[in-house]
A and B are shown apart, each in its own frame.
Chain A
């Protein structure tokens, strides 16, 4: 009993995040090579993530002169822990749910909010200007996408009449939320890019800040930070697949396999968006988020509400 209900869920969540981070690394570089005229053979090599891992391990871990040592170590650990917490509430099948909380949706909301704090801490702890600027920029992003995410998720909770993720999956037996609430998934994907400061929303570690919060990271500390960031993208993909693509529901194949396939699809869409959407500036994104995305999420909620009462 202990084995099935305690050890297995912990093992599944952590292995998914770590292997998933490797998959993110592989797909990110492979899809990046597809668009540009780069050496495809080298980029599509399945061992490429291991080469990059080895490169990171052979580097020195230089840390800045007077850092906030506690937070320097804690920031990647807490970011990864938040990803694990988010993935823990995702149901893999009708009876395998690592943590089947009645308030699973609220917990995911808390993960998103706390991620802002943790990413700020990462930039703060180096005690250097570029990382700190990246951190302040990230907070502006975090405060802007948070509400969009909440409204979209509330819209998903309406037909389920519950904040429990297993109930949200059950409510999609007839029709998936991605069809029932067509604006939900696109808005939620933008939130995902924000949560992992990916692609067009990479304000925290953008090239114009010389990689911002990562400017003074190297070796092992950069490796664990990137691991945590990739893991967060994995956790987000599983969450998006669960609330919009019917989670583990599907014919023929077993539930967990469906969940993994759908999460991989979400991941590929996110990576495609990361490579192809134009980069925004942080000050412009605040306007776009509050004046365009937030009203759109209102419309999504009204749509969801009207349809739930139909």
Chain B
């Protein structure tokens, strides 16, 4: 039942919103209205063009941490049973990762270049 609920709840929620939007939509807009708003500026290019994401080094750093989260979930469950050993192990692991953050900070990863 838990799994059935877990599948049905988001499914019904999504369908509900799709149906709601479809029923409530009053779509009689004219062609000039469909022009993107763009703050009154003149559109010289398509919006879906190459875009320089200024924070990409930060995004790369995140991947390292996300992998580390994978280890932390099972670790959290056995932590009290394993005791001080688990604390030390994760402490060392986090220290190494924290050094990585300090290095990344010094290199200006968290500034938009």
Contact = CB atoms under 8 A, between A and B. Distances in A.
Interface of A: 5-6, 9-10, 13-14, 17, 57, 59-65, 73-74, 76-78, 80-85, 88, 97-101, 103, 105-107, 109, 124, 126-132, 136, 139-140, 143-144, 146-147, 150, 154, 157-159, 161-163, 210, 215-216, 219-221, 223-224, 227-228, 282-283, 286-287, 290-291, 294-295, 298, 301-302, 305-306, 308-309
Contact of A60 (B29, B36, B66): B29
Given A74-B18, A99-B2, A298-B98, 19 more contacts: A5-B1, A6-B8, A57-B24, A61-B26, A73-B21, A78-B14, A80-B17, A81-B14, A88-B10, A106-B73, A129-B38, A136-B51, A139-B59, A158-B79, A286-B58, A286-B112, A290-B101, A290-B104, A291-B101
Contacts of A124: 48
A87 B105 CA distance: 36
Contacts of B5: 5-6, 9-10, 88, 98-99
Interface residues of B, number: 68
B92 interface: no
10 contacts: A13-B13, A65-B34, A80-B17, A81-B10, A88-B5, A219-B25, A224-B20, A227-B17, A282-B112, A286-B110
Contact of B9 (A84, A101, A294): A84
Contact of B2 (A101, A132, A140, A223): A101
Given A283-B111, A286-B112, A294 B13 contact: no
Given A80-B14, A88-B6, A127-B47, A210 B37 contact: yes
A242 B35 CA distance: 45
Contacts of A154: 72-73, 76
The CB with the most chain A CB atoms within 10 A, among B3, B9, B53, B65, is that of B9
A136 B61 CA distance: 17
Contacts of B55: 140, 143, 286
A309 B83 contact: yes
A35 B10 CA distance: 37
A227 B24 CA distance: 13
B48 A127 contact: yes
B94 A291 contact: no
Interface in B28-60: 28-29, 33-39, 43, 46-48, 51, 53-55, 58-59
B47 to A, nearest CB: 5
Contacts of A290: 58, 61, 101, 104-105, 110
Given A147-B65, A161-B79, A63 B34 contact: yes
Contacts of B4: 6
Given A73-B18, A220-B26, A287-B110, A65 B81 contact: no
A2 B1 CA distance: 9
A60 B34 CA distance: 11
Given A100-B2, A154-B72, A308 B36 contact: no
A72 to B, nearest CB: 10
Contact of B87 (A144, A215, A223, A305): A305
B28 A147 contact: no
A140 B29 contact: no
Given A128-B37, A210-B37, A305-B87, A10 B9 contact: yes
Contact of B18 (A77, A161, A302): A77
The CB with the most chain A CB atoms within 10 A, among B11, B34, B76, B77, is that of B76
Nearest to B79: A158
B57 to A, nearest CB: 10
A210 B26 contact: no
The CB with the most chain A CB atoms within 10 A, among B3, B11, B65, B84, is that of B65
A101 B6 contact: yes
Given A14-B16, A65-B34, A99-B2, A143 B80 contact: no
B12 interface: yes
